[in-house]
Every structure is written in structure tokens, then in C-alpha cells.
Amino acid sequence: MNIQDLLLKDVMIMDLQATTKEGAVDEMIAKYQAAGVITDATLYRKDILAREAQSSTGIGEGIAMPHAKDSAVQRATVLFAKSQNGVEYDALDGQPVYLFFMIAAPEGANNTHLQALAGLSSLLIKPQLVADLKQAQTPDDVQALFAKAQAAKDAEDAQEAAKEAAQTAVATDDTKPFIVAVTACPTGIAHTYMAEAALKETAAKMGIDIKVETNGSEGVKHRLTADDINRATGVIIAADKKVEMPRFDGKHLLNRPVIDGIKKPQELIQKTLDSEGTIFHATEAATGQEADADKKSLWSRVYQDLMNGVSNMLPFVVGGGILMAISFLLEQTVGAHSTTFIFLNSLGNNAFNFLIPVLAAYIAISIGDRPALMPGFVGGYMASQATASVLSSKSPAGFLGGLAAGFIAGWVIVGLKKAFKNLPQTLDGLKPILIFPVLGLLIVGFIMFFMVNPIFAQINLWLSTFLTHLGAGNALLLGALLGGMMSVDMGGPFNKAAYTFAIGVFTTTKDGSLMAAVMAGGMVPPLAIAVAATLFKNKFTGSERKQAFANYVLGLSFITEGAIPFAATDPLHVIISSVIGSAIGGGLTQLWGITVPAPHGGIFVAPLANHGLLFVLAVLIGTFVSALILGLWRPVAKEI
């Protein structure tokens, strides 16, 4: 595929007007949508921002490469945009961005597309090309510059291929330094191949042989063989996602973000030659996550581990909860002894029985990797059972105990790895099959039996009693608080805290009142934005109105994240209005005594509520209050 097939002239922006990062993203997405490259601007923007949240795609030297691969993209395209004054884009070097390359790849992009995107990305490490692009005046100039750069690269690749062929025909020169590397980024479109190109080009200048494996969208390319790894002086991992690590056992290894492969290739290569990388042990850190974790804040690490548990638990919550709710609905017509009721109810209950063990297991595995899975799972199971302990109780430790079990199991395994790191190499094989399972289970079980279960069983019992005797005023306040939290960050820590609290109460008491509050609160933000864009058209751009329409469906389905693109570009007006509407919706569900015996589904599970019409009314009132505040408060939009 020719580069001109990707760099389409009709989607270039030669004078980008935006002055902020969000504005630049929106301006480029609007161009894509107008050209028919994408069909769902909301989905594409969400994925662009999700990639930015992992690390800025402003790679420095005045360049940014925002990119996403999803079903909204109709054809592989690269949008070139140039800003005259520069945009503050949170670039890694802290400097303004002047050149933008927004890459759009279809979800089912074929290898031809992906190879072309990889080739295009690798050209951008050429300083002369970057300098020339800053002077380009027309789309034709841009295409001509890339065509010239591609021709030069093709000639270099041909020379390199001839050189490799010649080397295979003669004996390998073992005296020449040789290192291996792996590059990978979450989407595998741009940074993966830019890091590869930078490492190879720098190694050639330093007189070093290097082989780079890429873990990109088209799969693993140039896979490192066992012989490659054995011959290498050391290993460079320039990656922002998991790569296959156990094969590097015993090698000096540097584990860095993919951007370091682009910006600091000489430093990485020199440190590898000097054997500055730590010796990697596969049984101690299968993915190098422990080293990376030191760079994160405590809250970031805890939140990441917690979300790993919650995300893996949710399918059990949704599947089991909705089937149980349907069974209760059918019970009124077919009876409690019918086969249909018994089947659906028992199936839902069986799924629910795994909630806490799965939650604990996947929190543990996020911290201590695979050895923590079993003790985490067993600890979670212990938390879900009302077993005898030093403080006998009829109540299990429940959801809170499961959270504790996950974190305890993960850190117990981390501690065991450190305690046995100096075990003789001949005994290393005992760690995963004997030491970690037996000692891990023993320690976690001891802590759960003698400390966690007794304490959290009492807390759980108190919580159940408190909710049972909760007065109407307190219930309204709690419902408003949980509903409002669902809109504070729309899928972030506050949202998840409110939702997981409601799930915890639901699994313990089988009372769906707080589920009604969080569901109403979570439905309001996207619905309010959709209604506001319909009623106050002058407050939204044409592109925003199109995006907002999709929020009718997202809001009705209890997908709060549909509001994120609007909150990102206008946080003050959107978040405050959403929190007010969500708090009202959540409070009304408690005022009217509404319970929803299903953990997800939005409007589609309203018939399962004890007061389905009142639930819908609570959502509508919250929605229209929020929409009116947003529509009246927000300034008139300026079309780009």
C-alpha cells in the first residue's frame, strides 16, 4: 500500500485552530467524521482519550501521534494537521506540538494497512522530514515529502536486506556486540514501530548488531529465537503492555516505557552493553510489573489492582443478577416450585456464589501474578462463607472481606518471592509448584480465619442491621450521595466505589434499593447531555450534537461513560450539572422505596423493579434537572 493511500489530502488540516489538547483532538475527529473516515465520533474519541490516559502520544520534538483502532473506523487513514502557534499537548518533553498525525485503524485492519501504518510511523524519527513538514504549505507538499522519505527508506531497507543475506552466507562474527529488544504499545500501531526504527538506526550508528521484536497490531514480528536470546549481551524491553517475559530468564534486562525506545535509544543500548540492567528471574517477576509499580503512586497501584478484580467479577454480577431478577419476576406467575423458576434462580445464584472468590483472585493476580491466583481465590471463598472462627458469627465477611483477601494474597506472594529470591538455582522449580502454593495458602488462610473473617463478619452484620433500620431521611441522603458519586468521574474511582458498595450490600442483604440509586445516578449524565443537546442546540456544535444523540441509547443502557467526551472538554458545566441531577435521581429512588433486583441493564431491567414506573420517573426527573442546568449554564458554542 502506498503512503498516499493513507495520507489523504482531503483530511489534512494545514492550519489547526485549536489551542488546547482536547480542542485539537476534537477538531481532528470532526474532520474525520466529515470525510466519512469514522462513523461514531463518540466511540473513536473515547478510544483516543483512553490511549492518552495511558501515556501522552505527544512524543516530543513538536510531534503528537494520537491513535485508535476500533469499529468506528471505516478505512485506515492518517490525518496530518499542522498548528502555526503550537498546542500545549502534555508532550513528554513539555514543549508545544506543531505536527499532528492522528491514526485511525479499522477494528479488522488487514496486514497491508497495518504494515503501511507501521512504515509511516517509522519515518517520523527522521529529523529532516520533521523539519520539512513544518515548512509544508499544502497537502501536495506533505504527500511529496513522505513519498521522498519512503523512497529513501526503501533504499535503506534493500541495503540492509542485502547485508543480512551476506552475513548468513558467512560465519557469524561473534566478536561484534549483539543485543535484542522488544517494542510494544497498547494499540500497537505507532509507538511500537517508531521505537523499533529508532533502536535499529541508533544501533547501526554505534556499530552494534540488534534484533528487535515488535508486538504490534499485526501480531509478533521478527520473533526472538532462543539462540538470539542466548547470544545477546542483554535485553531491552521498551513496552507499555505485557510481553512474553519468562524466555529472558537469567539475562541482563532493561524494562522501560516504549517512549524511551523512541527518545533514548542510545542510552538504552549503552546501558545494555554495560550490563547495567538487572538480571531477570522469570519466577520473581513474570512481566516486570513490580519494577514499574515503584514509579506509580500508592493510590494508582491500589486502584489498578481493585479494578482488575472488579472488571473480572462484573460478568458474574450481570449474568447472575439479571437471571435471578427474571426468576423473581416469573415467580409471580409460574410459582416458586416451577422448573422454570428453580432453573433460573439456581443458575443466577450459582453465578453469584463466585462473585467474591473471583474478585479476590483477580485482585491477587494483579499484585502477585499467577502464583497469587489460588490463595486469592480460596481467601475470597472463605470470605463468602459464614464459617466458624475465633469470633463465631452467622454472617460471612462478605464483599469487604473478599477485598481484603485479594490484597492480602497478592502481597503475601510478593513477600514470598522476595524471601526466596536467593534460593539455589537447582531448587527454583520448587517455587511455583510447592513453595508458593503451600505457604501462600497457609498464610492467607491463617490471616483470613483468625483476623479478617471475624472482624469483617461483625462489620457486615452491623451494616446489614444499619440498612434494615435505616430511616427514610437517612436513606434519601445515602441514595443521593451514591447517585451523585456515579457522576463525579463517570467510570472512575468515585463511580466504581459507589457501584461496588451497592453490589456489596446487594450480595449481602439481597436488598436492591441501593442498586436502584446507583443505576439511576449512572443513567442521568449521558441522558442529560443528549436532552440538553436536543433542547439547547446553540450550546453544542454540530459535531457535538451528533455525538450526543448516541447518549440516548448509552444512558438508557446504564453506560455512564457516554458522557466522558463531553466532561473532558467542558468539565465544569457537565460534571456539576450531572452530579446534581444524579443525586436527585438517586435520592428519589430511596424516597419512593424503589428496589432493583438486577445489577445492570438500565431501562431494560426497570420492569423487574418493585416500582418500575417510579424508577423511570426518578431517572427522568434527574435527567431533566441536569439537562436544564447544563443547557442554561453552558455558553453558546462556537463552530470550528
Task: Please say if 67 is a catalytic residue.
Answer: yes
Backbone dihedral angles phi then psi of residue 278, each to the nearest 5 degrees? -70, 150
Measured CA angle at 411 (ends 410, 414), to 5 deg? 95
Between strands 67-70 and 97-106, the pairing is parallel
Among 403, 399, 407, 405, smallest CA distance to 367 is for: 407
Q: Which residues of 269-307 are buried (b: 16+ CB within 10 A; e: fewer)?
A: bebbeeeebeebbebbbbbbbbebbeeeeeeebebebbb
Q: Can you tell me whether residue 256 is helix, strand or coil?
A: strand
* C-alpha atoms less than 13 angstroms from C-alpha of 364 in its C-beta half-sphere: 31
Rounded Cα–Cα distance for residues 399 and 306 (Å): 12
Query: What's the chain's length in residues?
Result: 640
Q: Are 60 and 50 in contact (CB under 8 A)?
A: no
Please report which helix (H) or strand (E) contains residue 68, including its range.
strand 67-70
* Cβ neighbours, 10 Å, residue 446: 10
Strand-pairing partners, residue 73, are: 38
Measured CA angle at 110 (ends 108, 115), to 5 deg? 130
- Cα 65 to chain centroid, rounded: 19
Look at the block and give the residue holding cell 446534581.
Answer: 580
Among 303, 425, 287, 277, smallest CA distance to 363 is for: 303
Strand-pairing partners, residue 236, are: 181, 254
Measured CA angle at 298 (ends 294, 301), to 5 deg? 75
Which residue of the set 113, 185, 281, 600 is catalytic? Answer: 185
Rounded Cα–Cα distance for residues 441 and 368 (Å): 13
Q: Is 280 left (phi over 0), alpha (psi -120 to 50) or beta?
A: beta
Q: Which residues of 192-225 are buried (b: 16+ CB within 10 A; e: fewer)?
A: bbbbbbbbbbbbeeeebbbbbbbbbbbeebeebe
Residue 259: exposed, middle, or buried by beta-carbon count in 10 A (0-12, 13-18, 19+)?
buried
Look at the block and give the residue holding cell 493476580.
Answer: 365
DSSP per position, 194-242: HHHHHHHHHHHHHT-EEEEEEEETTEEESPPPHHHHHH-S-EEEEESS-
Q: Are 175 and 113 in contact (CB under 8 A)?
A: no
Strand-pairing partners, residue 180, are: 211, 235
Task: Please say if 337 is a catalytic residue.
Answer: no
Strand-pairing partners, residue 301, are: none
- Annotate 385-400 with three-state secondary structure: CCCCCCCCCCCCCHHH
Tell me the catalytic residues. Answer: 67, 185
